[in-house]
Structure 1
Amino acid sequence: MRILSSKTFSYVKVFNQVAGACVICLVALLAVVMLFERFRHYTRSVYAQNVLNTSEVAEISQNLKLGYPEAVSGQNVLMIPLYSEQTYTQGFRDKHALGNAVNYLFFDGRSKTSNWLFETSDDLIVDVNRVPSGTNSAQPTRVIVYALARRDTNGNGRLDPEDALTIGISRPDGKGYKTLLESVSDYSGLQMLNPMEVSLVFASDGKNRIVTVSLDDFTTIDEQVIPDTR
């Protein structure tokens, strides 16, 4: 039987020490990579839409810019959104709220005049619906209906579709705006049943409701509470 010399044992010992050091270095390197990836995950920029930050804690940089003009059907009027672009820091992250409509500019092609829908641009416009003059959607626009987030009712420091909504209406040139509904917790939408009226379906105060509005003077014609199903 061959007996290993002390020199051979020394080589084996050195090899084991080197191998152990390499393993430790590899584990440490993997740990550093994992920590770096986790840090990058928590510090990367976040982009959001349909959100308007109102928090007084965050330092907010805001830029307002006009969007793409769209023709209001059959009215010789352009409807141009005003978008809010916000940048703010939350924790280690830079957050960007882009493409959020806060107002509309209307340009009358006949008189070559323009007007804003709202005097200020503090509200988040969640939804816009152009209602035609008849039940055929290809007919000229009769009125425009808006869903707005005006107050941070859920206390998350921002305006978003989860807040209680305000539903308003205007003429197709953006004039004559009137608030129809407030404190709407869930807005399903609207539908025309005849050329003179539009019905809005929504939830408020824990009840589902249908309100019918006159398209002539924007007054409420009827309001129904939808019975709960069993």
Structure 2
Amino acid sequence: MSYLIEKMTGDTTKKIRLLDPAVGTGNLLSTISNSLKLKNVELDAEGIDIDDLLLSLAAVLTGLQGQTIKLTHQDAIQDLLVDPVDVVVSDLPVGYYPVDERASAFKTAAKTGHSYAHHLMIEQSLQYLKEGGVGVFLVPTQLFETEEAPALTKLIQDVSYLQGMLNLPKELFKSENSRKSILLIQKKGGAAKQAKQVLLAEIPDFKNPKAMVHFMNEVDTWKKENI
């Protein structure tokens, strides 16, 4: 995910505002932070989570690594006191959001019953992205195959560009139903444009270095030819 952020923000980028609206213990955010710093990118990172215990663990984890990451205890589906960011990255919680009254304000809300929390969080993330900003999300591979998918698809088409969907290796999951993918979207505006060809790929087994190098080269080629 860090590699995709690097590709989408450009090699000359020196500063990035980054948000994780479901930061949990902070593992993903801190890993990406460390990776970008190795590229000499100045990072202004913020994480939000509704679970105060997970936030406490995130504070310890990031503190031990000497990272300065702002952590906020809040329901990320509510209005956020967050300035627009360049990148939103998150391992989205999969399930239903229990506050129907709040969910009803979203375009991705379910017509009846509870709405999918991960749909709402994608929509919320787009609200806080700058024009041309990038969203990199870990989502269920069947994201666009559910009954509620049409509303999410329309939202993404209306306000952003679907730039890629990359399936993680099957070996990481117990079953096909639990498999996850990386969703890559970019908010419309600025210098953003729809890729000539959406990046649809199967990420190889992480234990196969040769295949991973080949895959990364393919992503490089895709970026040069399509964006």
Looking at CA atoms only, which structure, 1 or 2, has the larger radius of gyration? 1
Give the number of the structure whose residues are more often strand, by fraction. Answer: 1
Give the alignment's TM-score, normalised by structure 1: 0.24
| TM-score normalised over the length of structure 2 | 0.24
Structure with greater helix percent: 2
